[in-house]
Structure 1
Amino acid sequence: MRRGVHFEPSFPAPALTTATFRQGVSYAPRGALAVLAAVMLWFVAPARGEEPPPGAARRHHPRPRSVLLGHKAGVDTIAFAPDSKTLASGSPDGSIVLWNVAAREPLGPPLTGHVKGVTSVAFSLDGNTLASGSADGTIVLWDVAARKPLGPPLIGHAEGVTSVAFSPDGSTLASGSDDRTVILWDLAARRPKGRPLGGHTDWVASVAFSPDGRTLASGSADRTIILWSLAAGRPLASPLGGHRDWVTSISFAPDGKTLASGSNDRTIILWDVAAGRPLGPPLSGHRNWVTSVAFSPDGKILASGSADRTLLLWDVATHHALSSRLIGGHRRGVTSVVWSPDGETVASGSDDKRIIIWDLGREASRR
């Protein structure tokens, strides 16, 4: 799921849905971002954790509530701050917007500092620092309150940075790259911890720390996932193989026992981390590439976004879709989905330049 070149699916769009996706590089002029806010939220009435009965689609039809508009060149990545009040979004024009979620408006002008597209953003667990990775090969650490970089960019990858993630204790940042490697950064020293982790045979699309901070997972276009021992600096076992196309996104469940992976093969696999094998057959439902997966804070629901312009919500226990139909609202491919830490909402970013906040309500968050 390379960011950049637009892809138009040839299949007909389902009702209430729309789509394009990215796969290369195309940028708007640096800093070319007009910020305005408009709102249109969506409410998703969840199903009961089983296959929906006939006619259920009508009962669980999503209703519009709200959308954030402002990006000129699409939205490639989004992340919630730990307090669920702030959302960061990155764009292929190299800009980052910090949003006041309650007010549904930007917290000032865009942050600019990258010379190519922003591919990944992540907040530290205290919410004070935002990391942004870019196709320009650099990582910028931002002081969220001051809205300025915390020193010069981190430079270590030979090609574009595709994914960034903070360790649970906030001392380390992991970055994946088009150069097929993962770098672990000592944030206090602002330098890599040892040599880059090399094991993938194609570009690294996604990195994620386990909740206990002992393991790092990396998903790659080589169709595999590697689980790395951070203490030893090497793989825990052979790569996890099960997808038939690029692994585009990975996410650990809050208990660290399950890992979800999304792929360009249109499926999602739930993995038993300890056993290193799938927990049943792949989850199928999307009509195009799965671009993003994210567990709810309680680990009971998995959200997935796709190049088919839609989202799906999955019951992790039953492996069934909670929603009775593909959840549509975007006009182009969904590039990123994230849960708010309070479990009340899911946000989705898209090539259509919009961010939709999906209000799941307390009933869904307590499932």
Structure 2
Amino acid sequence: MSSKRTGIFPANPVTARGVSTKLSAVKDKVIYTNGKTVIIRDLNSPLLSKTYSGHVQNATVARFSPSGYYCASADANGTVRIWDTVGEDQTLKGEYKVISGRINDLEWDGESKRIIAVGDGREKFGHAFMMDSGSSTGDINGHSKAINSVSIRHQRPFRAATAADDGLIVFHQGVPFKYDKTIKTHTKFVQDVRYAPSGDHFASVGSDAKIFLYDGKTGDTLHEFADHHKGSIMACSWGPDSKSLATSSADCTVALWDVQNQKPVTTWKLGSGVNNQQVGNAWSGERDIVSLSVSGDLNIFDPRVGDKPARILNAPQKSITTAIPTSSDTFLAGTADGRILSFSTSTGGSTNLGGAGHSNFVSGLASSPEVNNAYSVGYDDRVQEIEASGDSRAAVLNSTGTSLQPKSIAVAGDGTVFVVEVNNVIEAFRSNQRVFEQASKFTPSVVAAHKALVAIGGEDQKVRLNEWDGKLLKEVSVLEGNKGGVSALAFSPDGNLLASGDSSGRIALFDVKEKKMITSRWSFHSARINSIAWTSDSQHCASASLDTHVYIWSVAKPMKNIAIKNAAPGGANAVLWLGSNTLASAGADACVRIWEVTFHA
């Protein structure tokens, strides 16, 4: 038995209101960060995207070297890591502690030899160094507050510009980089500064809604662009011809400027409200402008096409907490910030669920072969019914409140939805109405159902099998074999087997008819089991654990398994089968990875 990763659904960037998020693009690829992960997203073929998980602290910015061979990524602890982007191994070239705080931006010189990293340090706000040795190659001085952005002229003689919260732009000569002069054009925070590819000019944007153009060699101020945006301008990027400039603003607009005339050519409006504020952008390829919303959406604009984005890329921003299949190539996933998204392996895309959705942590998703729709529960104390069409489109149909905070959900064959809640409460819903409520004598933690059978796992390390007659739950057996609180349950599709995972990392396999344990040797995980999923033939099951690994187990050969190590950096929260040989895993890094599994006879 073996496995091979065949694709990845990448997460979208983490954003914050009023904070400029740095994006970088090369051809059809955009690079950004989410948590501790650096993501290289392929805009044309999302499943071909890549991730890098080498940072110990949350990553804040990443940029490709001009040569294309390396990437420099930085984190909240002031560390810069330089790694190989060409090979699959992502070999580390160097790791340097450059400032004593968060790095907000970094930039390569035109020779891919030197890097300037800037941010919010205690002793200094920026540092220039050689990429191969880490040795200093100048001083970044002149600012009194955190530096938000840095840009380097890629042609000799090298120049660099830095922009900061003190409202100043500092112009540096190089190499070595040294202070040349202070530019006082802005009246508020300067959010971004970027050099044109030609090196003839650079531009700056800020919270005063102003845009300025400067001479690339001397740093002299040339022009102020016409007032256009009504809010803070958070990012700017140049077109490859150095004649066009794109700006993204907190007034929910993106503008394309003719630099020679300092006038807007096109303006795109993206609705209203905080979620549509634009906090980052990058120019991809010859035409496309990628702008980032606070909601995490990546909006792709083609200046030749209308007044709306040509495409909008939805994806999770926070950890994926649960997931279930809806067809052989589509599935639903819930996230830690309350979103539910529908994914399609045929298109490689994901879309936010239509309808109201949850306002908080999604604690469970469930469906049943006998029922068309799916159901979700969240920490907003709601049960939602979801129309899962199986073609990547899904929408919330209705929702109802639970008595207490829900921990787990399952759907019986008659469409009854069972919810395990805090304070030892078990509830059942049907047709948007509560039909059953019971306070248990033990602490239930997870629930699973198959037709009229309902299994409830408890913190007391036991699984209780119940029969549901449409009105009451009748306990028929207590299954023992776990060594920790039961944290994941799953019936095999034929209903003959029940897999029970616990907080110690052990999985016990039970015969449902005989009501006895078959094996407890599925114990390779070293931490809590978060999810279990069966293949359609009931012969294999996969488990996802907090230890970041996924294991695939064989019923016929209990001692055989397939180990997928580090399947979800930070912890694997969900695993599911899409067809007989395709497995999906998801977890703390908000990405979904697709695996092709080969079962040998």
> Same fold, TM exceeding 0.5?
yes
Asked if residue 124 in structure 1 is aligned to residue 65 in structure 2, the reply is yes
Shift in CA distance, 131/260, structure 1 to aligned 2, threshold 3 Å: same
Say which of 282, 303, 308 aligns to 1:338. 282
Say which of 102, 111, 121 aligns to 1:169. 111
CA distance in 1, matches of 2:62, 2:207: 21
CA distance in 1, matches of 2:154, 2:116: 14
CA distance in 2, matches of 1:98, 1:79: 9
Structure 2 unaligned blocks of 5 or more: 1-6, 306-601
Aligned identity (percent) is 20
Q: Match of 1:80, as an amino acid?
A: A
CA distance in 2, matches of 1:184, 1:98: 25
CA distance in 2, matches of 1:358, 1:150: 34
CA contact (8 A) 2:224 2:262 kept: no
Bigger relative contact order, structure 1 or 2, given CA contacts below 8 A and separation 6+?
1
Matches within 5 A, 1:190-339: 191-194=134-137, 196-213=139-156, 214-236=158-180, 238-274=181-217, 276-323=219-266, 325-328=267-270, 331-339=275-283
CA contact (8 A) 2:82 2:93 kept: yes
Deviation at 1:156, TM superposition (A): 2.0
Shift in CA distance, 233/211, structure 1 to aligned 2, threshold 3 Å: closer
Matches within 5 A, 1:23-172: 70-71=11-12, 73-74=14-15, 76-81=21-26, 84-91=27-34, 93-105=35-47, 107-108=49-50, 110-144=51-85, 145-146=87-88, 148-151=90-93, 153-172=95-114
Q: What TM-score do you get using the length of structure 1 for normalisation?
A: 0.72
Q: Match of 1:171, as an amino acid?
A: K
Deviation at 1:317, TM superposition (A): 0.9
Shift in CA distance, 300/278, structure 1 to aligned 2, threshold 3 Å: same
CA contact (8 A) 1:114 1:136 kept: no
Deviation at 1:151, TM superposition (A): 4.6
Q: Deviations over 1:128-166 (max 9, x none)?
A: 211112222111222223253515532120111111111
CA distance in 1, matches of 2:29, 2:13: 20
CA distance in 1, matches of 2:39, 2:219: 38
Shift in CA distance, 103/273, structure 1 to aligned 2, threshold 3 Å: closer
Q: Deviations over 1:82-122 (max 9, x none)?
A: xx13221212x2322222222133524x3223344432211
CA contact (8 A) 2:280 2:292 kept: yes
SS state at 1:360 partner: coil
CA distance in 2, matches of 1:231, 1:36: 41
CA contact (8 A) 2:80 2:98 kept: no
CA contact (8 A) 1:337 1:346 kept: yes
Aligned pair count reads 290
Deviation at 1:281, TM superposition (A): 3.0
CA distance in 2, matches of 1:107, 1:154: 26
The structure that has the greater radius of gyration is 2
Q: Deviations over 1:203-250 (max 9, x none)?
A: 1111111121411111111111111111353222x2011100111101
Deviation at 1:357, TM superposition (A): 2.0
Structure 1 unaligned blocks of 5 or more: 1-34, 38-68, 363-367
Q: Match of 2:39, as an amino acid?
A: V
Taking only aligned residues, the RMSD between alpha carbons, in angstroms, comes to 2.6
Q: Match of 1:95, as an amino acid?
A: T
Deviation at 1:187, TM superposition (A): 1.3
Asked if residue 356 in structure 1 is aligned to residue 308 in structure 2, the reply is no
CA contact (8 A) 1:98 1:106 kept: no
